[in-house]
Chains A and B, each alone.
Chain A
Amino acid sequence: MPSQGSTCEAPHDPRPLVLSLKGITKRFGPLTANDHIDLDVRAGEIVALLGENGAGKTTLMSILFGHYIADEGSVSIADADGKLAPLPGGSAQAALAAGIGMVHQHFALAENLTGFENIVLGTQSLWSLRPRGRGARDKIARLMAESGLAVDLDVPVARLSVGEQQRIEILKALYRDVRVLILDEPTAVLTPQEADSLAATVRTLAGKGLAVIFISHKLHEVLALCGRVVVLRGGTKVADRPTAGADRATLAELMVGRAIPARERPPSTPGAPVLSLRRVSVGALSQRDRLEGADLDVRAGEIVGIAGVSGNGQGALAALVAGLAAPRAGEAMIDGVRLAGADPAGRVAAHVGRIPEDRHRDGTIGSLSVAENFVLETISAPENQRAGLIRRAAIRARAMEAIQAYDVRCPGPDAAIRALSGGNMQKVVLARVLEREPKLVLAHQPTRGLDIGATTDVHRRLIAARGRGAAVLLISEDLDELFALSDRIAVVHAGHLSPALDAAGLDVRTVGLMMAGHGAGEAA
């Protein structure tokens, strides 16, 4: 393993500067998204960019990549001779030509084209009559050999796995001879093994002199991979230091601006099963997202985590529990009642609290107010309506209480919920679900896209629900989250659900192998 621990901060670093941002400031109305940010990156360096949502990372990278124009400050990038030259703002073409490449969190790939076609897209005149051929293939083959990125170039991207699509994205940047590569949350969608392989690739590329800016929420990855870490908070740079000597707690504190209380998970004695599945199959939602003969018990007072790469059956499991899908075979029981058809209202009546995966699409109705979203599931209950008329005053009053209790930052109960940040929107969903003291909580990716502060809050609430005696089914792609919260963990792969094993006896690597389709015994 190459050593990157020797990386030190300038001025003693002998490596040439490839990118220099000076005094970058960007305002959106009254909000200052970037406030005089300086950032230097040297050849061969892996720099982590850390910050909560809204800290200004995305804005800074968008300026670098030409999507926004900075109000003040300048971007300079080394030219072919290594001399720094100013980069004109607001032009993606100029950024690409100068050697800045970015791999977005949501891939910028045309899925109907092959990997090869995506890589060469836009690299030659549109009026040319011949597409790129032999020469381009040879170059890509060389890049693949150098970087260790192997992937089939000749099938439509839609048929590649997420990890393979990411390799295409990186090859796309390398094909354009980038000198600075920006990776935005690159491991969020990968299994641990894929993430390891990505880290190895990044080290190899840095070893060849590529400068890498690595944006991630996962502090342990940052510590393992990056030589230097830059922390943004509220639009300003609050730290720029070597990772040597830093630990997760200090980095988290720098990001959030206050100490993060350690998660406390008091022991709990599980009771009787609330959710019980016996050889349950659920039909396919999409190609692979189905469940075949699943066995699972989630008992009162425990959190059972479901690990797996998205689309392997956890969507079908969530749909079954949420009442959106019917079991096709087998016996599914909630609180002793057998589930027959798809029956969302029945699940609400059976005290199932549902935190859906996509809070914008399934969790809230954007144009309705916070108060209305708060009572969406119980609008026909007597406390919310009388003789078919909505009891506005009562609903507002209870929404006010929930806003207080759950610390929802919003203008008031009458504000349209779409105006809220993701974290605050999720707090409204949590309030709706947990205020009813559900017997079973379905938490499907409950912290996706949330920053550390909001994530900690969601975790605290789920642990509190468990302490109250609720059975919690936690479906997540974030293994850190699963291990932090779960009493037992099951892995779903290609529609098959493994037995739920005691979380204390599992480690991340074993679960990662199971996510990739290897059995528990094989992995151990």
Chain B
Amino acid sequence: MWEALDILTQANFWAATIRIATPLIFGVLGALLCERAGVLNLGIEGIFVAGAMSGWLAVYLGLPLWGGVVVAALVGSLFGLVHGVLTVPLGLSQHVTGIGVTLLATSMAYFGYRVAFPNVATPPRIEPFAPLDVPLIGDLPFIGPILAQQTGFTVLAFACVGVLAFVLARTPLGLALRAVGDNPEAVEAQGLSVVALRIGAVMAGSALMALGGAFLTLSAFNAFYFGMINGRGWVCIALTVFASWRPGKALLGALLFGALDAYQLRIQTIAGGVVPSQIFLMLPYIFSIAALVLVARRADYPRALMKPYFKGQR
């Protein structure tokens, strides 16, 4: 019993929580940015895969690590452009298009990998982001070791939370994004372009999603594996609702999920003999479902979410 609680005092546990949460932070921020503008982006799962693969490949081919990050973001925004063009000016079903983008992006990533490495037994590796070695902070009691294990990529995720929160709440652009997800007619009537705002939001959001994927291959691990995204994108879609489309709460939701995941890994070793490990594996996902059941029923969805807008139609 005490061992189960003891986990919470280990610096390792908290470091793992942040590491597991980082890709989710990017994913939830990306999803909420798209949805705030009124577009559901179910391409997220595939965009994670494409970001993981392209960022890693760029570094493998010789680009610096941050160059890989940029490549992943660009690839993500390209898939966002595809999703945006199909769903915004053409007004196709956002569900169907999103699933299509996921299939396309996943398959293209796998295909590209197989073409580049037809005959490898073990996945080729790169030198990933190293933990930050900031003097002083690492010497702090308790949180020092936690922070010292994180990489610059994680810092970027936390910075994105602040930037997105500021943009949405405090700038004219954020005002227009929030408005276009609530009532596109209001935006059009004020002389702004609904199409440009929505496509821009989907591209930027997709770039963030791709960063979530790239974190896995450039920071958490050092190689690209098939199936490594493993539903993280879908979890982000659920966490977006949990977060009520707010960046701050998105951070909280991602950390909660990360903590549960890190906890179940550790409790398995303690209680593994008694309880089947699958039960623990389920924990974070049960949390997602429970959170959705509790929160989503009262959720204040952006009013224009999933509603295509055609100019001149009322």
User: Chain A interface (Cβ within 8 Å of chain B)?
Assistant: 62, 67-68, 92-93, 96-97, 102, 104, 106, 108-113, 117-118, 120-132, 172
| B175 close to A117 (CB less than 8 A) | yes
Using known A-B contacts A122-B176, A124-B172, A128-B172, determine if residue A109 contacts B190 with beta carbons closer than 8 Å. no
State how many angstroms separate the Cβ of B63 from the closest Cβ of chain A. 29
Specify which of B170, B192, B303, B312 is in contact with A121 (CB 8 Å cutoff). B192
Q: 5 closest Cβ contacts across the A-B interface?
A: A122-B190, A110-B179, A108-B189, A110-B182, A93-B191
Contact flags (1/0) for B74-85 with A, using CB distance below 8 Å? Answer: 000000000000
Min Cβ gap A27→B in Å is 15
In the bound complex, what is the Cα–Cα distance between A180 and B170 (angstroms)?
32
Contact B170 A131 (CB under 8 A): yes
Question: What 0/1 readout, one digit per residue, does chain B (172-183) give for beta carbons within 8 Å of chain A?
Answer: 110110111011
Question: In the bound complex, what is the Cα–Cα distance between A132 and B172 (angstroms)?
Answer: 8
The answer to whether the Cβ of B314 comes within 8 Å of any Cβ in the partner chain is: yes
Q: Is the CB of B173 within 8 A of A126?
A: yes
Q: Contact between A92 and B188 (Cβ–Cβ < 8 Å)?
A: yes
Q: A68-B312, A96-B190 given as contacts; is B183 within 8 A of A131 (CB)?
A: no
Q: Which residue of B lies closest to A112 (CB)?
A: B182
CB within 8 Å of A: which B150-194 residues: 170-173, 175-176, 178-180, 182-183, 185-192
Which of A120, A122, A123, A130 is in CB contact (< 8 Å) with B187?
A: A122
In the assembled complex, the Cα of A447 lies from the Cα of B183 at a distance in Å of 27
CB pair B189–A102 under 8 Å, yes or no, is yes
CB nearest to A103 among chain B residues: B189
With a CB–CB cut-off of 8 A, which chain A residues contact B186?
A: 108-110, 118, 121
Q: Indicate whether A92 sits within 8 Å of B189 (C-beta atoms), given known contacts A62-B312, A110-B183.
A: yes
9 more A-B contacts (CB under 8 A) besides A110-B179, A111-B182, A126-B192?
A: A68-B312, A108-B185, A108-B186, A108-B189, A110-B178, A110-B186, A121-B172, A126-B173, A130-B171
A172–B191 Cα gap in the complex (Å)? Answer: 12
B311: interface (CB < 8 Å): yes
Report the bound CA distance from A501 to B187 in whole Å. Answer: 45
How far is the CB of A175 from the nearest CB of chain B, in Å?
A: 10
Interface positions, chain B 225-265, Cβ under 8 Å from A, are none
Q: Is B302 an interface residue (CB 8 A)?
A: yes
Number of A-B residue pairs with CB-CB distance less than 8 Å in the complex they form: 83
Kindly state the separation between the CA atoms of A128 and B303 in the bound complex, as whole angstroms: 26
Contacts of B191 in A (CB 8 A): 92-93, 96-97, 122
Chain A contact residues: helix, strand, loop or mixed = loop
Q: Report chain A residues within 8 Å CB of B188.
A: 92, 108
Name the residue of chain B whose CB is nearest to the CB of A128. Answer: B172
Looking at the complex, which one of B175, B189, B311, B314 makes contact with A113 (CB distance below 8 Å)?
B175
B275-314 vs A, Cβ < 8 Å mask (1 yes, 0 no): 0000000000000000000000000001100000001101
Q: Measured between alpha carbons, how far is A405 from B139 in the docked complex, in Å?
A: 90
State the CA gap A108–B183 with chains docked (Å): 7
Q: Return B160 CB to nearest CB of chain A, in Å.
A: 17
The residues of B that contact A125 with a CB separation of less than 8 Å are 172
Residues of B within 8 Å of A122, CB to CB, are: 176, 187, 190-192
CA distance A275 to B16 in the complex (A): 67
The docked-state distance in angstroms from the alpha carbon of A353 to that of B190 is 44
Known: A111-B183, A112-B182, A131-B172. A123 touches B190 (CB 8 A): yes
With known contacts A109-B186, A110-B187, A113-B179, A128–B311 Cβ distance under 8 A:
no
Contact in complex: B176, A111 (CB < 8 Å):
no
B311 near A109 with CB under 8 A, answer no
Which chain A residues lie closer than 8 Å to B183 at the CB level?
108-111
A93 CA / B194 CA spacing, docked (Å): 13
| A130 to B171 CA separation, bound complex (whole angstroms) | 6
Which residues of B are found within 8 Å of A112, using beta-carbon distances?
178-179, 182, 302-303
Inter-chain contacts of B173 with A (CB < 8 A):
126-127
How many Å from the CB of B312 to the closest CB on chain A? Answer: 5
CB distance from A125 to the nearest CB of B (A): 7
User: How far apart are B11's CB and chain A's nearest CB, in angstroms?
Assistant: 38
Look across to chain A and name the residue whose beta carbon is closest to the beta carbon of B196. Answer: A126
Residues in A neighbouring B303, C-beta threshold 8 A: 111-112
Given the interface pairs A112-B302, A131-B171, A131-B172, the reply to whether A121 lies near B311 with Cβ below 8 Å is no
Shortest CB–CB separation between residue A122 and chain B, in angstroms?
A: 3
Digitize B187-224: 1 where CB-to-A-CB distance is under 8 Å, 0 elsewhere: 11111100000000000000000000000000000000
Known: A92-B191, A112-B302, A112-B303. A121 touches B185 (CB 8 A): no
Chain A residue contacts of B190, Cβ below 8 A = 96, 108, 121-123, 172
Tell me, in angstroms, the Cα distance from A127 to B172 when the chains sit together. 7
Most buried by A among B173, B176, B179: B179
* Closest Cβ–Cβ distance, residue A430 to chain B (whole Å): 26
Contact call A126/B302, Cβ cutoff below 8 A: no
Give the distance in Å from the alpha carbon of A250 to the alpha carbon of B303 in the complex: 44
Bound-state CA distance A182–B177 (Å) is 27
Distance between A54 CB and nearest chain B CB, rounded to angstroms: 15
Task: Say yes or no: A67-B311 contact (C-beta < 8 A), given A108-B183, A110-B183, A131-B171.
Answer: yes
20 residue pairs A–B, Cβ–Cβ below 8 Å: A92-B189, A92-B191, A104-B314, A106-B185, A108-B183, A108-B185, A108-B190, A109-B183, A112-B178, A112-B182, A120-B175, A121-B172, A121-B176, A123-B190, A126-B173, A126-B176, A130-B171, A131-B170, A131-B171, A172-B190
CA distance A38 to B59 in the complex (A): 66
A215 CB to nearest chain B CB (Å): 14
| Contact A121 B171, beta carbon cutoff 8 Å | no
Please report the C-alpha to C-alpha distance between residue A110 and residue B192 in the assembled complex, in whole angstroms.
13
Closest Cβ–Cβ distance, residue B22 to chain A (whole Å):
27
Contacts of A93 in B (CB 8 A): 191
Q: Could you say which of A102, A106, A111, A126 contacts B172, with CB atoms under 8 Å apart? A: A126
What residues of chain B lie closer than 8 Å to A108, measured between beta carbons? 183, 185-186, 188-190
Complex Cα–Cα for A112 and B302 (A): 8
Complex-state Cα separation, A118 to B170, whole angstroms: 14
Q: B38 to nearest A CB, angstroms?
A: 11
Chain A CB within 10 A, most for which of B187, B189, B190: B189
Alpha-carbon gap, A62 to B191, bound state (A): 14
A123 to B303, CA, bound (A): 23
Q: Given the complex, which residues of A lie within 8 Å of B179, measured CB to CB?
A: 110, 112-113, 117-118, 121
Contacts of A62 in B (CB 8 A): 312
Q: Which residues of A contact B175 (CB under 8 A)?
A: 113, 117, 120-121, 131
